[in-house]
């Protein structure tokens, strides 16, 4: 149960006790039990959220829940396992989120980013390091996939840009940047925006980002300048915020960019080919 005032920001720092100091023992025991039950049942997941973030950055913070990242089919299995243990479960959003509750305490099962882009797939597991979480050896979400997911969180009440910056600072020099570029692919401008903010925040650490990455993304930017405006009046802002671009789409005449993007992705999946937006210069549409 959240003990602090809801408007009070969660305390953070390098003291590991910050992750648990505000949490009741029963809540921590519930988290540990969930992890243990899922491991015993053979349900695959990687640990994300504050626990994974601390693994990479050494920054600890109070967190009101435990974020586990399974594939969607395994998220349903996870709910079934916890239901047998008396947890109340909820399929909160079929795009990205299921939940399980033990009284006032809960676990989030996240199988995609909220916009349906950063889907949990086999690579989340193939590249996941291991860490001890609640006494269990667990897979931890790869830093690359954490950034892929967090990069799209740009709401008024929550912006994960600082998390992205800290992950880049602490893990950027060891990241698989070819995979990162492939993950963002048609959303390369979102990646570039975060990398530019990183360069602003840490001018002495610019070499955490390979030069070839910045050169490629800047080349794509120059290409879009030559390309000019799109013919279709489209707002893709709702891929990074559900709320903030409602007026644009419902009152200002912009087409729904998220729906457009979902259709483009589906067309790509059905044809077995990548969308024109995903070419090396990002110029198709």
Mark whether 16 and 133 lie in a shared domain: yes
Q: How many CB atoms lie within 10 A of CB 271?
A: 9
In whole angstroms, give the CA distance from residue 99 to residue 87.
10
Looking only at the bridges linking them, the beta strands covering 66-69 and 105-110 are parallel
User: Which residues, other chains included, contact 198 with Cβ-Cβ below 8 Å and sequence gap of 6+?
Assistant: 164, 165, 168, 169, 172, 205, 208, 209
**pLDDT at residue 54, rounded to an integer:** 94
| CA neighbours closer than 13 Å in the CB half-sphere of residue 18 | 16
Mark whether 12 and 125 lie in a shared domain: yes
Mark whether 12 and 41 lie in a shared domain: yes
**pLDDT at residue 207, rounded to an integer:** 97
**pLDDT at residue 7, rounded to an integer:** 37
Q: For tokens 């802002």, what's the residue?
A: 237
Mark whether 135 and 163 lie in a shared domain: no
Structure tokens at 281: 């210069």
CB-based contact 90:48 (threshold 8 Å): no
User: Treating both helix axes as pointing N-terminal to C-terminal, what angle do 188-201 and 161-171 enclose, rounded to 10 degrees?
Assistant: 70
135: left (phi over 0), alpha (psi -120 to 50) or beta: left
Which of 97, 116, 141 finishes a domain?
A: 141
Looking at the domain assignment, is residue 273 inside a domain? no
Give the chain's domain count: 3
Q: Say how many residues make up the chain.
A: 285
Q: What pTM did the predictor assign? A: 0.88
Per-residue pLDDT of the chain (285 residues; tens, 9 = 90+): 333 333 344 566 754 555 555 556 778 889 999 999 999 999 999 999 999 999 999 998 767 889 999 999 999 999 999 999 999 999 999 999 999 999 989 999 999 999 999 999 999 999 999 999 999 999 999 999 999 999 999 998 999 999 999 999 999 999 999 999 999 999 999 999 999 999 999 999 999 999 999 999 999 999 999 999 999 999 999 999 999 999 999 999 999 999 999 999 988 776 554 444 444 333 333
Give how far the C-alpha of residue 238 lies from the chain's centroid of Cα atoms, to the nearest Å. 16
Mark whether 224 and 237 lie in a shared domain: no
Looking at the domain assignment, is residue 279 inside a domain? no
Mark whether 119 and 193 lie in a shared domain: no
Looking at the domain assignment, is residue 281 inside a domain? no
Mark whether 124 and 98 lie in a shared domain: yes
Mark whether 239 and 160 lie in a shared domain: no
**pLDDT at residue 60, rounded to an integer:** 81
Mark whether 76 and 116 lie in a shared domain: yes
Looking at the domain assignment, is residue 276 inside a domain? no
In whole angstroms, give the CA distance from residue 89 to residue 75.
11
C-alpha distances out from residue 184 to 38, 152, 231, Å: 30, 10, 23
Q: What tens digit of pLDDT does each residue of 207-228 get? A: 999 999 999 999 999 999 999 9
Mark whether 94 and 168 lie in a shared domain: no
Which of 141, 162, 194 finishes a domain?
A: 141
Looking at the domain assignment, is residue 251 inside a domain? yes
Looking at the domain assignment, is residue 285 inside a domain? no
Mark whether 109 and 6 lie in a shared domain: yes
Residue 87's domain spans which residues?
Answer: 1-141
Eight-state DSSP code of residue 80: H
Mark whether 111 and 216 lie in a shared domain: no
In whole angstroms, give the CA distance from residue 122 to residue 38.
18
In whole angstroms, give the CA distance from residue 10 to residue 190.
26
């Amino acid at each position: 149960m959240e003990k602090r005032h809801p408007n009070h920001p969660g305390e953070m720092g390098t003291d590991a006790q910050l992750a648990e100091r505000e949490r009741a023992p029963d809540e921590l025991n519930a988290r540990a039990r969930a992890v243990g039950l899922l491991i015993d049942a053979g349900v695959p997941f990687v640990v994300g959220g504050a626990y994974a973030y601390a693994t990479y950055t050494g920054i600890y913070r109070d967190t009101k829940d435990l974020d586990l990242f399974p594939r969607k089919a395994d998220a349903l299995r996870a709910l079934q396992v916890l239901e047998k243990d008396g947890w109340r479960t909820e399929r909160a959003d079929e795009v990205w989120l299921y939940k399980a509750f033990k009284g006032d305490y809960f676990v989030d099962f996240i199988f995609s980013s909220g916009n349906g882009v950063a889907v949990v797939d086999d690579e989340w597991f193939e590249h996941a390091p291991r860490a001890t979480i609640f006494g269990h050896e667990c897979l931890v979400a790869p830093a690359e996939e954490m950034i892929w997911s967090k990069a799209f969180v740009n709401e008024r009440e929550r912006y994960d840009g600082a998390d992205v910056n800290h992950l880049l600072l602490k893990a950027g020099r060891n990241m698989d940047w070819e995979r990162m570029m492939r993950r963002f692919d048609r959303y390369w401008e979102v990646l570039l925006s975060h990398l530019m903010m990183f360069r602003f925040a840490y001018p002495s650490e610019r070499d955490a980002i390979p030069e070839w990455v910045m050169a490629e993304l800047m080349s794509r930017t120059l290409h879009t300048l030559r390309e000019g405006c799109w013919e279709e009046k489209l707002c893709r802002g709702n891929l990074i915020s559900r709320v903030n671009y409602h007026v644009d789409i419902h009152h200002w005449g912009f087409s729904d960019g998220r729906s457009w993007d979902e259709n483009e992705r589906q067309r790509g999946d059905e044809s077995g080919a990548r969308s024109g937006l995903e070419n090396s210069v990002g110029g198709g549409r």
